Amino acid sequence: MKLTDLTPEQKRIAIAEACPKLFKVLNNECHWRFSCEGEESRVDPLSDLNAIHEAVMSLDIVSKRVFAETLRKVCDDELPGNVLGDEFVIQNATAEQRADAFLLATGRAEP
């Protein structure tokens, strides 16, 4: 499915399904697979940088490289012309931009 056709809920579920060691889907919501007793387990990888970072870190080295290249492209679509440089763009990418790049890099969404 095209990335632009996915709803935020579908994106969260796709990320959870891509990282079953980290996340689980309960009632169509993304949750940490493991959480401390009494702690909120619901997580939103579209707005939580820690969650999407963990998802990216679960990728193998080649997939991480594809993710980095994809993230640059996702960010360039919003800020064309290499205005700030690749490193700045990658370091300052939002969780949502990272989530979109993750979905594209892992083949869970099409451009």
Q: In this predicted model, what pLDDT tens digit does every residue of 19-46 receive, in sequence order?
A: 999 999 999 999 999 877 767 789 999 9
How far lies 45's CA from each of 53, 84, 94, 95, 100, in Å?
9, 25, 10, 7, 10
Measured distance CA(76)–CA(86) in Å, rounded: 9
Tens digit of each residue's pLDDT (9 = 90 or more) over 49-102: 999 999 999 999 999 999 999 998 898 766 655 666 777 778 889 999 999 999
Q: Where are the domains of the chain?
A: 3-105
Q: Which H or E element spans position 60?
A: none
pTM attached to this predicted model = 0.90
